[in-house]
Chain A
Amino acid sequence: MPKHPNDRLQGTLDLLILKTLARGGPQHGYALAQRIHQATDDSLRIEEGSLYPALQRMTHEKWLRAQWGTTDTGRKARFYTITPAGRRQLEEEEQRWLTLTAAVSKALRLA
C-alpha cells in the first residue's frame, strides 16, 4: 500500500517510475527522467526535486533496488531495478489508475 493513497500525484510518479523500470530494465535517475520525458512525447517533465526523493522512498519500500554502477560515458551512477514487490505494486497502481481514469472519463462524458 502506498503511504498516502489519496496523494494521486505521488502515486502517479511512482507508477511512472515503476512502469519505466519494468519495461526498460535497470536505469539511473537521469535516464529515467529522460525516458519518461520522451515516452510522454515531451509533455511530462519529471522534476529532479521530486524524482530523487521518490526513488529514495521507493527503495525503502523495497519496490526498487539501488546499486552503484558505471554509465556508458564512464560516470559513476546509481542504477535502480524493480523488485518483485515493486512489480506487485505496479500492478496494483496500474489497476487503480485505469479504474480512476475510466471513472473520471465516464463522469466527464456524462456531465
Chain B
Amino acid sequence: MSPLRRIWNLLRRSRLDDEMQQELETHLALIEDEARERGLSADEARREARARFGNPLAYRERAVDAVVATWLEDAWHDTRFALRQLRKSPGFTAVAVLTLALGIGANAAIFTLIDAVLLKPLPVRDPAGLVLFGDASASGVGAGFTGRSFPAFSYDLYKTLRDAGAVAELCAVQSARERLGVRRGSGAAEPTTARLVSGNYFQVLGVNTMAGRLLEPTDDKTASPPVAVASFEYWTRTLAGDPSAIGRAVEINGAAVTIVGVAPPDFYGDRIEADPPSLWLPIAASRSLNPTGHLIDQPDLHWLYLIGRLAPGVGAPQTQARLTLILQDWLRGRAGGAPSDERRTRIEASRIELTPIVHGVPHLQRQYADSLRLLFGLALAVLLVTCANIAGLLFARGTARRIERAVRLAIGATRGRLVRQSLTESLTLALAGGALALVVASSATRLLLALAFPDAAFLPIRTAPDERVLVFTFALACVAAVVFGLLPALRMESDIVPGMRAVRVRWGRTLILAEIVVSLAVLASAGALARSLARIAGQPFGFDRDHVLVAHVDPRLARYDFAQLAPLYDRLQVRLAALPGVRSASLSYYSPLEGCCWAFSITVPGYTPPREEQNSPLINRVSPGYFETIGTRVLGGRTFDAHDAPGSRRVIVVTEDFAQRFFPGRPAIGQTITIDSEGRDAPLEIVGVVESAKYDEPREPMRPMIFMPLFQMKAGESPVSSEYRSNYLEAIEVRSAGEPAEIAGAVRRAVAEIAPELPVLRVETLSARVLRSMSQDSAVATLASTFGLLVLVLTTIGLYGLMAYLVQRRTGEIGVRMALGASRANVTWMMLGDALRQAAVGILVGIPVAFAATRVLGSQLYDVSPTDPVSTATAAIVLVACLSAAGYLPARRAARIDPIRALRTE
C-alpha cells in the first residue's frame, strides 16, 4: 500500500469502518442463514449468531487498528532506519543539519520580526474593529493642517468629535511620547517615558487590568486627583513587581500621582515601538504635571491621535463623511465671522480619513516593512540554495547507496516504499535542522534587534519562539524536506540502472546552476546594500563627527525656572571648556541626528515661494561656540556671542542651502526674514552663513536651517510655543583634543558638580551617533552580507561536490586519455574548463535575475542605482573566483590519476 493511500486511510477511517461493518454484518447474516437451515427460528438464529460472534464493534475496531498500526509501525521503522543511515554518515548529516539550521533559522528569525511588527494583531478586544483618525503621519505638536486630511487633533477637537456621536466610542492618545521625571521616595527624578491618554482609552481598546485598576473616564476630569497606570514591564522592572506599589503615590514632575494599576504583560500601548510608554496618565493630569506648558487649552495645536470604533451598522465611508462635516464646522467656528475665500476653500478641503489599525497605530511598520520584506526574500533565497545543496549531496549519496537499494528492490521492496524511506530520511534531516533552527532563530533575532535598535532600553518584541514561530518553522522544515528530498528520491532508479547515471549528472548540474543564479542575485543585492551604506556613512554631514562628545540633559525634567537657565548654561559652558583635554564646549536645543528640530514656514521679503512649496526651514537654538564645537564651517559673517542677549537686536545664522534658496544670487548676510508663527513685527537679521548640515535623517536630503541664539524670542511668547520651550536646552557638546569617549566620565562629573539635580540622560560621541542613526541600514546590509557569504560558501561546496563526483566517475576515461598522451595540464584544463563553463552559464543566466533582484531593492538604496553594475559585476567576480577554486581542487586530483591504475580499475 502506498504511503499516500495509507494517509488516505487514516483520514478516511470512518469509510474503512463502514467497509468492515458491512463485512462483519455479512458474516453475522451468514451464520444466521446457516442456523435457519438447521431449522432454528429467525430469533433463535440471531441469538445464536450473536453468541458465537461476540461484540461486533470490538472486532471492527481491532481490524481497523491493524491498518493504522501497520502505518505507524512502518513510519517508526522508516524513522529508525533513517536515523541509522544518518548516523552512518555523520559528515553528511552534520553538514546537512547545520546548513538547514542556518537556512531555516534565518527565515524563522526574520519571521519572528515580521510577525511581531507586521502580522500580530494588537492584544485588545476586536482589534479589527478599531479605526485611527488620519494616518499617523505627523507626530509631536502640529498646526496648520487645514486643507488636508488631519493627521493629529487638538483636545478641543477631540471632545467635539467624541461628543458628536459619529462613532460608537472614541479615545485620544498623545502622538509623541512624554518624558517625565518620576521620583520615588528620596533620590533624583528618573526619566520615564509616558503617554497621556483620554480616560476611556483602556475601555475603548478593551484591555483588562493585570493588577489594580486601569484608567476610567472620571480620572480625566480637571478636578480629579492625578493617577497613572504602569506598564507590566515598568511594574516588574522598576517597581520590582511590588504589589504594594499599586495604590501608592509617586512624585511625577513635582506632583503627587497615584499608581492605580498595571496593564497586562502583552499590552504595550496602541503601537509597536522601541521603548514603549512605562506609564499612562489621563490627559487632565498634564495640568498638574506641566502647569504652564500643557496643551489642553490650545484648540489650534494638534497633538493627539484619535482611535475609535465605528457605530454598529455604519460603514467607514459614511462615518468618514460625517466626521469630515463635523471637522469643517469646527474649523469654521475657529475661523470666526467671515473667513476669506482662500480660507473657506481650505476648510472645505479639510477632511478626516479613517485607517484600520488591526496591528496598531502605524509606526515601526512604516519604517521597517520594506526592509523586513527584503530580508525575508533574501532569507528564502538562502534556504533555496541550502535545499539545492542538500539535494546535490543526496544525489551524490545515492551513488554510495546504490548497492543497498538494488538489494532491497531485488528482495521485493516496492519503489514506493523506497521513495517513502528516502523521504522519511529527508524529513528527519529537515526536522533536526528545524529544531536547531529555533535555537539559531532566537539568538539571531536578538542580534538583529540589537543591530537595528541600538538605542532601545526595551523592545516589545519577544525573541523566544512562540507558537506562531514554531508552526512556521515546522512548516518550513517540511516544505524544505520535500524540496530537497523529493527529486533525489524519485530519481532513484538512476542509482540502480547504470545507463541512467547521466541523468544524475544532469540533475546535479541543474541544481548547481540554480545555486549559482540565486547566489549571484543574493550577492549583488548584498553588494548594493553595502555600497549604499558606505554612501550614507561617507556623505558630508556638515559637521566634524570626530572628537565631539554629546551629553543629553533635560532641565525641564529637573524643574528649572526659566530665569535659572541663563546662569546654569554659563556655568556649564565655562566649567566644561576648562576641563583638561577639552577644546571647547557649547549647548543647544537639538544636536545633529537626534530627531531634529522644529520647523515653521517663513516670509522672506522679495521671495515668492512657488505654489505647493514646502517652505519650512528647520529651526534650532544654540549657544555661542556651537559651530566651532561641532565643527561646522562658518562661510560668512559671524556666529553668536555674549552680545546676542534677550533684549538686543534679534539675529539668526542660516545654512548655505537657506541662503541659496531664499537669496539666490545676492548676499544673505544683512537681510531680514520673519517666522510666520511670530508675525511680521519680529524681524530676524541674518548675521552669518554656515555650511549646510544633516540634522534630521542621514538618508533624507538636507533642509534649509535657521539657528537662533539663546533666549531671543518675541516679547510675551507663550510657554507652550517651540520658541519658548527651545530655551530648555537638551544637548551639551564638547570638542576634545583626544579620543572623546575618554572624557565622558569627566563631563558627567562636571555636570553633576555644577548642577547635581540635572540628570545626564545619555553621553555618546558624535561619531557613534552618526553610526546609530544608520542602524537600520547597517542592520539590513550586515544581514544581507551574511546571507551573501552563506550562499557563496554553499554554492562553492556544491560545485566542489559535483566536480569531485565527475572526476571519480571519469577516472577510467582520464586514464585512457593520459595513456594516449594527454598531459597533466590537459587533464587539469579539461576538468577545470568544465567547472568554469558551469560557472559561466550560471552567471550569464544570473545577471538578469540579479538586476531584477536589485531593482526590487529600489527604495532601500541610497545614492546607488537599483541596477548598479558595480555590485553585480563584483558579485560575479567573487562568485567566479570561489567557483574556480572549487573546480581547481578536483581538477588537480584528476591530473594526478595514475593511468595504469585507472585502467586496471576499469
Contacts and interface: CB of A to CB of B under 8 A. Distances in A.
Interface in B49-82: 53-54, 58-60, 62-67, 70, 73
Interface-central residue, B20, B60, B66, B412, by most chain A CB under 10 Å: B66
A55 B58 CA distance: 16
B691 interface: no
B27 interface: yes
A49 B70 contact: no
B66 to A, nearest CB: 4
B1 A73 contact: no
Q: Is the interface of A mostly helix, strand, loop or mixed?
A: helix
Contact of A52 (B20, B30, B412): B20
B903 interface: no
B483 interface: no
B63 A53 contact: yes
B23 A52 contact: yes
B29 interface: yes
A56 interface: yes
Given A49-B54, A49-B62, A52-B59, A30 B67 contact: no
A76 B26 contact: yes
Nearest to B19: A78
B326 interface: no
Contacts of B67: 56-57, 60
A56 B26 contact: no
Contacts of A76: 22, 26
A49 B59 contact: yes
A76 B30 CA distance: 10
A106 interface: no
Interface in B16-63: 19-20, 22-24, 26-27, 29-31, 33, 53-54, 58-60, 62-63
A48 B54 contact: yes
A75 interface: yes
A55 B19 CA distance: 13
B62 A53 contact: yes
A3 B70 CA distance: 9
A35 interface: no
B45 to A, nearest CB: 13
A78 B23 contact: yes
A57 B66 contact: yes
A71 interface: yes
A26 interface: no
Contacts of B73: 3
Contacts of A75: 26, 29-30, 33
Given A56-B66, A62-B1, A48 B53 contact: yes
Given A57-B70, A60-B67, A30 B27 contact: yes
A52 B31 CA distance: 15
Contacts of A52: 20, 23-24, 27, 59-60, 62-63
Interface string A71-83: 1010111100000
B291 to A, nearest CB: 84
A90 to B, nearest CB: 14
A48 B59 contact: yes
B58 A49 contact: yes
Contacts of A71: 26, 30
B22 A53 contact: no
A28 interface: yes
B26 A28 contact: yes
Interface string B748-762: 000000000000000
A32 to B, nearest CB: 10
A76 B412 CA distance: 34
A30 B70 CA distance: 24
B327 to A, nearest CB: 73
Contacts of B29: 75
B23 A77 contact: yes
Contacts of B70: 3, 57, 60
Contacts of B53: 48
B253 to A, nearest CB: 78
B33 A73 contact: yes
Interface in B412-453: 412
A56 B66 CA distance: 7
Contacts of B66: 53, 56-57, 60
Interface in A60-103: 60, 62, 71, 73, 75-78, 85
Interface in A40-56: 48-49, 52-53, 55-56
Nearest to A49: B59
A14 to B, nearest CB: 13
Nearest to A78: B23
B75 to A, nearest CB: 14
A98 B41 CA distance: 45
Nearest to B73: A3
Interface string B466-490: 0000000000000000000000000
Which of A29, A48, A71, A76 has the most C-beta atoms of chain B within 10 angstroms of its own C-beta? A48
Interface string A1-43: 0010000000000000000000000001111000000000000
Contacts of B24: 48, 52
Contacts of B64: 56
B61 to A, nearest CB: 9
A54 to B, nearest CB: 8
Contacts of B412: 85
Contacts of A85: 412
A56 B20 contact: yes
A60 B65 CA distance: 12
A56 B31 CA distance: 20
A21 to B, nearest CB: 16
Instruction: Across the A-B interface, give the 9 residue pairs with the lowest CB-CB distance, nearest first.
Output: A30-B30, A53-B63, A77-B26, A53-B66, A52-B63, A56-B63, A57-B66, A49-B59, A30-B27
Interface of A: 3, 28-31, 48-49, 52-53, 55-57, 60, 62, 71, 73, 75-78, 85
Given A52-B60, A53-B65, A56-B20, 14 more contacts: A28-B26, A29-B23, A30-B27, A52-B62, A53-B63, A55-B63, A60-B66, A71-B30, A73-B30, A73-B33, A75-B30, A78-B19, A78-B22, A78-B26
28 contacts: A28-B30, A29-B23, A29-B26, A29-B27, A49-B54, A49-B59, A52-B24, A52-B60, A53-B62, A53-B63, A56-B63, A56-B64, A56-B66, A56-B67, A57-B67, A57-B70, A60-B1, A60-B70, A62-B1, A71-B26, A73-B30, A75-B33, A76-B26, A77-B26, A77-B30, A78-B22, A78-B26, A85-B412
